[in-house]
Amino acid sequence: MTDKIDIIVVGGGPGGYVAALRAAQLGAKVALVEKENLGGVCLNWGCIPTKALIKTAEVFGLAKNGDEFGVIIDKPRVDWAKAQVRKQKIVGQLVGGVGMLLNRAQVQVIKGTGRLVSPTVVQVTDANGQTQRLEAPKIILATGSSPVNLPIPGIDDPNVLDSTSALALESLPKSMLIIGGGVIGAEFASLFNMLGVEVTVVEMLDRLLQLLDSSIGDAMKWIFDSRRIKSYLKSKVTKIESGKKELTVIVESPEGEKKIQVEKVLSAVGRRPNLANLGLDEIGVKYDRGGVKVDEMMCTNVPSIYAIGDVVGGIMLAHLASRHGEVAAENIMGHRMLMNNRAVPSCIFTLPEAASVGLSEAEAQKQGYRVRVGTFPLNSNGKALIEGESEGFVKVVADEKYGEVLGVHIVGPHASDLILEPTLGITLENTVTEFIAAIHPHPTLGEAIAEALLAVEGRAIHLLR
């Protein structure tokens, strides 16, 4: 046993390390158990490295189209190795920063894999098989998630990648087929396409980005088509055959069977909570395939055990995991706080970006709202034209009866930044009228939000009637 501990956090990702830091701020003595790198998947193999490489692709795209801005750049090329070095430098800096924060907060970081052996005890096994037992009155599970493995013949071929190995490629392939048209698949499709890879996307459902408002999925399909990204919807990969230089991917589509030859295949069909070997059954913690069951305080059915982030299932986003961590820490330390999932923003770092918060139009109608919708195209926004990125729109979904804004959906440059205003407004239950009362500076992309809100009432200023 170590010195007295108030809270044990199992998992050092964006949920776990934030929970540890907040608990330490509130006066707790915290031990954080992490088997790999601090920052978890998001910081090391997900959010941050992906976006670093997407920035490389964005800069390359601007260089290729420099003449449109009056800047002549002869034959720009991608130095993939240098892009990888930059990516790793950013990751290293941020991981080191998390370590410094935990050290300064006097959080004890323990390397190893944690397993519950009682409601107050975690057994930690390190890489050498050595074990130690940690005891604390409260435990937070933050073990994250892992990629889903599809039972497709040939999926084990070394040229079939997951998101982690795709980020670590030593060189760019000439062609790639991506299984899955969700957030991960769409981001990688944009990244590799912009860098000159011939990309094909296969999606089982009837549109891309199925979990977001249909307008976003439809717009992304149009953008993919315009950029020569082939998208097969209502289709599935049934087999992957190995070859000397290429893989042959058998795709079952509405038009019949297709054989597509590519250098690499990327499986990007989603993630599942890391539930195995946690000791949940022995302790009696309730869970199912979707994740650990928690209440609004992030507490499980066992009062001493809390769970946060991807391990509870549902929306798997780093910023939501961090919020879970704050809520769990606050409640453990006696500051009652309930989790509010009303306005959880989703950001898709495609080129251009997409973002969404609140209800989609279909979700609002399903919940019984009579909705009014306002849409404003970015090709009528001055800043978008200046940026040379006028593909996209802002869509507002509002309640007809009271005018409350229920959801906002954006496709366009800096959508991940633009979604902050709607997130705050929906959190505060603002109406269309209240949103419109805020003066939006000119010339900015944010003016498109104001125009879409005005369009709900049929009075957008810069839109032909």
Can you state the angle between helices 16-25 and 318-332, rounded to 10 degrees? 30
Residue 442 is among the residues annotated as catalytic for this protein: yes
Cis check: omega of the bond before 443, within 30 degrees of 0: yes
Residue 201 confidence (pLDDT): 98
299 DSSP assignment: B
Show the tokens assigned to 407: 């959801």
Radius of gyration of the chain, Cα coordinates, nearest whole angstrom: 24
Task: Give residue limits of the domains in the chain.
Answer: 7-147+272-332, 160-269, 346-456
Rounded distance, CA 76 to CA 64, Å? 6
Residue 1 confidence (pLDDT): 42
Question: Among positive and negative, which fits the CA dihedral 173, 178, 179, 180?
Answer: positive
Can you state the angle between helices 47-64 and 80-104, rounded to 10 degrees? 140
Q: What DSSP string runs through 102-162?
A: HHHTT-EEEESEEEEEETTEEEEE-TTS-EEEEE-SEEEE---EEEPPP--TTTTSTTEE-
Pairing mode, strands 230-232 and 198-202: parallel
226 Cβ neighbours under 8 A, 6+ residues apart: 391
Residue 465 confidence (pLDDT): 75
Residues of the chain scoring pLDDT < 70? 1-3
| 7-147+272-332: CATH topology | FAD/NAD(P)-binding domain (3.50.50)
Place of tokens 């297709």: 258
Cα 346 from chain centre: 7
Q: What is the pTM of this model?
A: 0.95
Which CATH code for domain 346-456?
3.30.390.30
Q: Are the C-beta atoms of 44 and 167 separated by less than 8 Å?
A: no
59: enclosing H helix or E strand: helix 47-64
Residue-wise pLDDT tens digits, 241-265: 999 899 999 999 999 999 999 999 9
Fold identical between 7-147+272-332 and 346-456?
no
| AA letter at 12 | G
| Alpha-carbon dihedral 108, 111, 113, 115, rounded to 10 degrees | -30
| 160-269: CATH topology | FAD/NAD(P)-binding domain (3.50.50)
Q: Which residues pair with 301 in a beta bridge?
A: none
CB 107: neighbour CB atoms within 10 A? 23
Residue 404 confidence (pLDDT): 98
Rounded distance, CA 458 to CA 465, Å? 9
| AA letter at 176 | M
Rounded distance, CA 73 to CA 83, Å? 19
Q: What DSSP string runs through 65-79?
A: TGGGGT---SS----
Q: Which residues pair with 209 in a beta bridge?
A: none
Q: What DSSP string runs through 220-270?
A: HHHHHHHTT-EEE-S-EEEEEE--SS-EEEEEEETTEEEEEEESEEEE-S-
Show the tokens assigned to 80: 């993939």
